[in-house]
Structure 1
Amino acid sequence: MSSETPVARPASTIMLLRDRPDTFDVFMMVRHYQIEFASGALVFPGGSVDAGDRDIIGRPELYCCADATAEPALDFQIAAIRETFEESGILLARPLGSDQLVAASRAAEIEALHRTALCESRISFAQILADHDLVLALDLLVPYARWITPEKLPKRFDTWFFLAEAPPEQLGMHDGKESTDSIWLSPQEALDGGDSGRFTLPFPTTRNLIRLGKQPNVRQALADSRGKPIVTVMPIMSRDGDKRTLRIPAEAGYDGEVFEFTGS
């Protein structure tokens, strides 16, 4: 048996936010129980960076307002928007030459035409954008966190988390395949659901919800994170009898360094 540490696959996820009178909500989905990774868990939309995302980098007419020299790299940003469209139907893009996001009615038409085909690799994201004269709104993405799966685990990801304000009137809906339910709820409501057993929350999701829930509204959440240095988190797992713990960098901003590990 090989002792080599599995390579962490590049991945991206977006925490889509929208205000409500008393707080703000984040869009989350329940992963299908037969999915290999995080089955049955309540998560943010996202997934692996693929070759098509890297191809778009060579077509700058398809994206806007990105700093190609900054972290995270462009392919992570592009993948974040593509995966969010695949998994929720929400499209962070603008019509060519416009400073306004694509109208919800138009986004719905594009979703109906292409979302399934994109998920099944029968059309590329670049082709969808080109056919509909759309430009990815990469400037809406605010880098929030970077988590790398511990080295001891067989399936590993190097995941960038982004914040973005959800486009008005694009409500989002799970695909019924990789995810079986979707919901807008406040960070605290998601955490309460985890405590009650209503939801299964992976450790990184829990920590990011706790941190996000300290903000009063979408504007403050985005402002607090914009331009802030990102400390990469790769938890170190340890075991003492039946007790398992995860150690993360204290400077990552998660109000602690050692946490009891009870889930995924």
Structure 2
Amino acid sequence: MSAQGSDNKKALRTAATVLLLRDRSGGMEIFMVQRHHEIEFASGALVFPGGSLDPDDHVIAADAALVPDRFGLDVETVAIRVAGVRETFEESGILLARGKGSSAIIPAAQLADIEPLRVALDEGKISFADILRQHALTPAIDLLVPFAHWITPVNMPKRFDTHFLLTLAPDDHVGKHDGRESVDSLWLSPREALDGAESGRFTLPFPTVRNLTKLDKLGTAKAALEFARATPVVTVLPEVTKLEDGGRQLRIPREAGYDGEVFEFRGR
């Protein structure tokens, strides 16, 4: 392996992104946050909650007391879903967890006592494992359904191996940005997000656009979950080519189901 190839491999960080869905009278809505403009990655963009795995996610995944049922998943896959639960809590205040021995997600009344710990968790003053132990909770990893898998193109300064996970948001969990990494949050339909990008209201990363487009075609949160459960995920590692006019061409696998194989971008 070349030195450059080795560097790219070392730079790849595993991440989890959670698409929180709900159905309303007007159709599917998805929870999204606007990243702070001073954040290094995706600054100012409208994105789904998510982030890189922490060592603590693997500790939780391997602890049978915290995750008593792995649903036949290996520890790494469980850690990715634990990261999704943790990041969702940090960035939205929604906690996809159950009380020990319960089949139901914790109610909003119980969440109200836990939600203030978001800041301490983000600052590293408390671990997610500690929160789960103190409140006798287990992450609801079975409710997170794989929807997409994107890997940042090679030669990018920051590279992520990102797993997009789909789930229904608990009815009584409101959802609100953290005011630190994200400065705004909203529930909106996939079409509203895409139209906002077209008008210049929102900035959307390319993978976000493609996944919103796929969700928009599915119509409802229920249909999206049924699709995700029945459809194998195809990994997307875009191949980037610089064009003579200064634009870029991205090539992705057609079988990934994103309505195309080659996409071109002009300008910034």
Length-normalised TM-score, structure 1? 0.95
- Partners of 1:31 and 1:39 within 8 A in 2: yes
Aligned to 2:123: 120
| 1:192 and 2:225 aligned | no
Please tell me whether residue 255 in structure 1 is matched to residue 249 in structure 2: no
Match of 1:37 among 37, 41, 46: 41
Distance apart, 1:66 and its partner CA? 3.0
Change over 3 Å in CA distance of 1:71–1:128 after alignment to 2: closer
Cα drift, residue 108 of structure 1: 2.0
Q: Does structure 1 residue 171 correspond to structure 2 residue 156?
A: no
Report the CA distance shift for 1:164/1:44 in structure 2 as closer, same or farther (over 3 A): same
Residue number in structure 1 paired with 2:156: 153
Q: Which moved more, 1:215-224 or 1:40-49?
A: 215-224
Partner of 2:207: 204
Tell whether 2:62 aligns with 1:58.
yes
CA deviations 1:171-208 (Å, max 9, x no partner) are 11111110000000000000000000000000000000
Give me the identity figure in percent.
53
Report the Cα offset of residue 126 of structure 1.
0.7
Q: Does 1:26 align with 2:30?
A: yes
1:232-243 alignment runs, 5 A limit:
232-241=235-244, 242-243=246-247
Q: Contact 1:32–1:39 at 8 Å: present in 2 too?
A: yes
Distance 2:21 2:76 in 1: 20
- Can you give the 5+ residue segments of structure 2 that lack an aligned partner in the other structure? none
What letter is aligned with 1:67?
F
1:228 is aligned to 2:231: yes
- The runs of at least 4 consecutive aligned structure 1 residues that moved more than 6 Å come to none
Q: Report the 3-state secondary structure (helix = DSSP H, G, I; strand = E; otherwise coil) of the residue aligned with 2:158.
A: coil
**Residue equivalent to 1:80:** 84
Instruction: Provide the aligned length of Structure 1 versus Structure 2.
Output: 262
The structure in which a higher percent of residues are helix is: 2
- Structure 1 residue identity aligned to 2:169: A
**Is 1:95 equivalent to 2:102 in the alignment?**
no
User: Which residue, out of 93, 113, 125, partners 1:109?
Assistant: 113
2:250 is aligned to 246
Q: Distance in 1 between matches of 2:210 and 2:194?
A: 10
SS at match of 1:153: coil
Going from structure 1 to structure 2, the CA distance change for 1:70 and 1:209 (only over 3 Å counts) comes to farther
Letter in 2 for 1:180: V
Contact 1:72 1:143 in 2 (8 A): no
Q: Which amino acid aligns with 1:217?
A: T
Partners of 2:62 and 2:75 within 8 A in 1: no
| Native 8 Å contact 1:68 1:74 kept in 2 | no
* Separation in structure 2 between the aligned mates of residue 158 and residue 236 of structure 1, nearest angstrom: 15
User: Do the aligned partners of residues 224 and 149 (structure 1) sit closer, same or farther apart at CA in structure 2, a change above 3 Å counting?
Assistant: same
Structure 1 unmatched runs, 5+: none
SS of structure 2 residue aligned to 1:63 = coil
Q: How many angstroms apart in 1 are the aligned matches of 2:110 and 2:174?
A: 13
Partner Cα distance (1:73, 1:261) in 2: 34
CA distance in 2, matches of 1:61, 1:79: 17
TM-score by length of 2: 0.94
Q: State the shift of 1:93 in Å.
A: 0.5
Once the two structures are superposed, residues 82-139 of structure 1 have per-residue CA deviations (whole angstroms, 9 ceiling, x without a partner) of 0010111100011111111100121122012x11110001111011011101111111
Cα distance change of structure 1 residues 263 and 217 upon mapping to structure 2, 3 Å threshold: farther
Shift of residue 74, structure 1, vs aligned partner = 1.2
Gap change, CA 1:166 and 1:232, over 3 Å in 2: same
8 Å CA contact 1:64, 1:138 repeated in 2: no
